[in-house]
Every structure is written in C-alpha cells, then in structure tokens.
Amino acid sequence: MAVEVDLFKAGMRRLAGHVCVITTAAGDGGRNGLTATAVASVTVSPPTLLCCINRTASAFETVKDTGRFVINVMSETEREIANRFAGGDSGEARFTSGHWLTLATGAPVLASALVAFDCRVSDIAEIGSHGVFFGEVQAIHLSDGIDRPLLYLQGAYGSFSQFG
Ligand SMILES: Cc1cc2nc3c(=O)[nH]c(=O)nc-3n(C[C@H](O)[C@H](O)[C@H](O)COP(=O)(O)O)c2cc1C
C-alpha cells in the first residue's frame, strides 16, 4: 500500500537539494526555464543527467519538443535568479538578470552558475505528474571561481557552511 501523500511530502522536505535552474529555448528562440531540485547524475558513459519537470510547468512542452535543456547549478549568490525561475516572473522576463550564453544545443547557459550542463534529451519517462528527462551532456561551462552552493531544505534556501 502506498504511503500517505502528506507523509511523503514531510519526508521529502528533509532531503536537502541543490537548487538548479533548468533552461530551454523554443524553435523560434523563445527562452524559458524553471527552478528545480529534482536533478541527478545517471551515468558517466555516456555522460548523462536527469531532471524531473512537472507537466504543468510552462517550459515542459519546449523541453519535450526541442529536446534541449541546460541544468544551471546555482551558487548561494543567485537566490534572486532562482526566485524568478520559480514563478517570480514568466518566460523571457526570467532572463533579465544574469549573463546568458549558448554552447552546443542553443539552450541558455548562466555564465555565473557553478556549473552548467548543456544537454540533448536522450530519453523521457512520464511518471504521474512529472516528465523525467534524461539528458546526454553536449557541453559544460564552469564558472571562474567556486562559490558556496544554493541549497534547499524544509522549504527554505540555505548553504553549506563547511565550504569556503
Ligand atoms: C527550490 C525549488 C525547487 C523546485 N523543484 C522543482 C522540480 O524539481 N521540478 C519541477 O517541475 N518544479 C520544481 N519547482 C517548481 C517550479 O520552479 C515552479 O513551478 C515554476 O514556477 C515553474 O512553473 P512555471 O514556468 O509554469 O511558472 C521547484 C521550486 C522551488 C522553489
């Protein structure tokens, strides 16, 4: 028997996550993205990550249709950008701060992210409310320095005090 949803949510609130911004670009160049913690490494060969995107997210169809996304791994200094991509703004307005580049796929890369993985979708699993997108990494951008990470736990942002 499945566990209660509220119990599952209470448990998940105790799992600290690294805040990422997943970005994509439509065929006409229109950019979009969302803040996400449901990101994980899958395998080194071929270099593959996964991210879980709610079907209701405005970027969902663009990732599915174009098969491109970037996982921008956020530093502690990028809280404001994370808030924009979590619904503080929508679509192109989410890109008004930050320096954005493109690498291999054409999806937006945040130059100041700790690391950005530029991915081509290699597989999709649709489970319940979410699409699980597997992305084969086409290019990687590392920021100049290593700032503290932006983490999320119990509904709040924080960081990793032992670092730096
Ligand atoms: C810390 C944090 C983590 C999130 N993680 C995810 C995630 O892994 N997957 C997801 O689909 N939405 C996640 N969200 C919610 C999306 O960022 C939010 O729904 C966003 O507004 C995208 O939807 P929209 O483009 O329709 O506004 C997260 C939000 C926050 C604040």
Interval between CA 147 and ligand 1 midpoint (Å): 23
For the stretch 29-49, what's the b/e string if a residue is b when 16 or more beta carbons lie within 10 angstroms of its beta carbon?
Answer: eebbbbbbbebeeeeeeeebb
CA distances from 149 to 50, 63, 94, 118, 144 (A): 19, 25, 20, 19, 14
Rounded to whole angstroms, the Cα distance separating 106 from 63 reads 12
pLDDT (tens digit, 0 to 9) for every residue of the chain, 164 residues total?
799 999 999 999 999 999 999 999 999 999 999 999 999 999 999 999 999 999 999 999 999 999 999 999 999 999 999 999 999 889 999 999 999 999 999 999 999 999 999 999 999 999 999 999 999 999 999 999 889 999 999 999 999 887 76
pTM above 0.95, yes or no: yes
Domains delineated in the chain: 18-36+58-119+139-153 (2.30.110.10)
Ligand 1 atom 31, closest CA: 86
The response to whether residue 36 sits with its C-beta less than 6 Å from ligand 1 reads yes
